[in-house]
Amino acid sequence: MTTSEDNTAPPTPDSDAMLVQRTLAGEQRAFDLLVIKYQRRVERLIGRMVRDVDLVPDIAQETFVRAYRALAQFRGDAQFYTWLYRIAVNTAKKQLLELKRDPLVFQSQLQSGDDDETSSSERELNAQVADEETPDAVLASKEIAQAVNAALEALPEELRMAITLREMEGMSYEEIAQTLDCPIGTVRSRIFRAREAISNRIKPMLEHQSGKRW
Amino acid sequence: MNAAHDNHFQPVAAQQPAGLDRHGMDELGSDLSALVDGELDAQALDALLQSLAEDEDVRATCMGYQVIGEVLRGGAPQPSTLPPHAFVAGVRSRLQADRVSSVSPSVSVSIDLPVRAPAANDAVFRWKMVAGVASLAAIMAVSWSVIGGAPASSGGGAAGPQMALLQSPAGVSLANVVQPADQPTALVVNTAQGPVLRDARLEQLLAEHRQYGGMSALQMPAGFLRDATHTADPQR
């Protein structure tokens, strides 16, 4: 593990932008990584727009296909997810129009999710979707959340601080390094080990809960 | 706090893919963790892309990290509609189908093209000669008309108006407007701005097209329209 990086290291280029460049250069795996990274977020977004859960994977996959076709137009002015978000919304709207179905959520409600997915309205939307889940799925979701929180509490303080600053405060590695007064490599290592510790706690729960894949 | 101190806490060993030792798994996991945060550098990205391949565990680990993030950010985790490998495979197959469909139209066009039956006189050489001579004659005729007409158009001003009259769909009305110089119908009126033509047709024309009268786009009076038809001696 790299722990020798100093605080004054130049900012690294955006990982997503690098993956886009690699994809445009013909590296299919790079696009696979983008798909893996954003599958859940795109599915959740589309899940908020459509009533029929069975449509979600189809629209989500179509979103990535459209993104792939338009990838050369991504100039990196905005975050990759912001760009992908718009494609997902437009794809969902088009599909719903073709099926002559109404979206579950109005566009105005979705606007707030454009920049920051942790906004309060998005949480409300998540709660709304959670209300429409089956009781089994809601129970499983609660159990996973409890396990994550319990694992977080059991972490050594330095790991807990690192992952809290990252996930809850949304800080970059550089900002966390400055806050905790340690090298960026150490921050990266702590966040990884915190995730690994929590992941090991919840992994059995994620395998197959209520017949679904998490 | 330093890195050595951090290492006191070791997470429970995860199930690791064949061929990767503990250190390799840590590196891979660390890279994945940084990728989720958008903090992966180019060098580590190379290594990750090499390792990722078709490794289902790596993808599942990535998903697990995302679920953790969702919970810590206060959201309720929701199950994915498809496992990552099936989802990625679905996207790939759609892209493949997209490429195939974008190629297939040209194939179908080439198949659907009608095949022309050979002409009955294809084998007769003199018909080909006749066709060649006819083409040559046509080219010569066109050239003659172009080259023969050139001096007339460039030589004098007479051909220009004739061509304009012939080509203009409103040729008849144009001929009516342009009067010979020996039949003056316009009246020259001396005004403060100098002599101005008062022509009945011009007055009618301006009355019908008021948008061209009054003020011009340059915010100047449109008297120049009358000046343009002034045939008296130049003022200077």
Residue B220 sits at φ, ψ, to 5 deg, of: -125, 150
- Partners of residue A61 in chain B, C-beta under 8 Å: 87, 90-91, 94
- Of B191, B174, B201, B176, nearest to B232 by C-alpha is B191
Token readout for A55 is 């449509």
Residue B86 has a pLDDT of 85
Q: Is the pTM of this model over 0.90?
A: no
C-alpha atoms less than 13 angstroms from C-alpha of B219 in its C-beta half-sphere: 0
Q: Please say if the pLDDT value at position B69 is more than 70.
A: yes
* Chain Cα centroid distance, residue A145: 16
pLDDT band of residue A165 (cuts 50, 70, 90) is very high
Q: Which of B12, B33, B66 to probe the A interface (max A CBs under 10 A)?
A: B33
Q: What angle do CA B208, B214, B217 make, to 5 degrees?
A: 110
Residue B218 has a pLDDT of 52
Residue B196 sits at φ, ψ, to 5 deg, of: -130, 140
What is the domain partition of chain A in residue ranges?
9-115, 133-214
Q: Which of A28, A40, A142 to probe the B interface (max B CBs under 10 A)?
A: A40
What tens digit of pLDDT does each residue of B10-20 get? 343 344 444 45
B201 or B224, which is more confident?
B201
In what helix (H) or strand (E) does residue B48 lie, and over which residues does it extend? helix B42-52
Token readout for B14 is 């995860």
Average pLDDT over residues B167-186: 48
Average pLDDT over residues A184-201: 93
How many CB atoms sit inside 10 A of residue B7's CB? 12
B148 or A79, which is more confident?
A79
Q: ipTM, 2 decimals?
A: 0.74
How many angstroms separate the first and last alpha carbons of chain A?
Answer: 29
Residue range A133-214, CATH number: 1.10.10.10
Least confident of A151-160, A177-186, B10-19, B121-130: B10-19
- Partners of residue A43 in chain B, C-beta under 8 Å: 78, 80-81
Q: What angle do CA B46, B42, B51 make, to 5 degrees?
A: 20
Residue B110 has a pLDDT of 47
What tens digit of pLDDT does each residue of B99-121 get? 777 665 444 444 454 556 666 67
Token readout for B131 is 């066709």
| Domain A9-115 is found in CATH 1.10.1740.10 | yes
Number of A to B CB contacts under 8 A, please give it: 215
Our CA-based measurement puts residue A20 at a distance from the nearest CA of chain B, in whole angstroms, of 12
Residue A68 has a pLDDT of 95
Q: Do B40 and A12 touch (CB under 8 A)?
A: yes
B 74-103 residues inside an 8 A Cβ radius of A: 74-84, 87-88, 90-92, 94-95, 98
How far is residue B58's CA from residue B64's CA, in Å, rounded to a whole number?
10
pLDDT band of residue B29 (cuts 50, 70, 90) is confident
Q: Please say if the pLDDT value at position B193 is more than 50.
A: yes
Q: Could you check whether A9-115 and A133-214 share the same CATH topology?
A: no
Q: Please say if the pLDDT value at position A128 is more than 60.
A: no
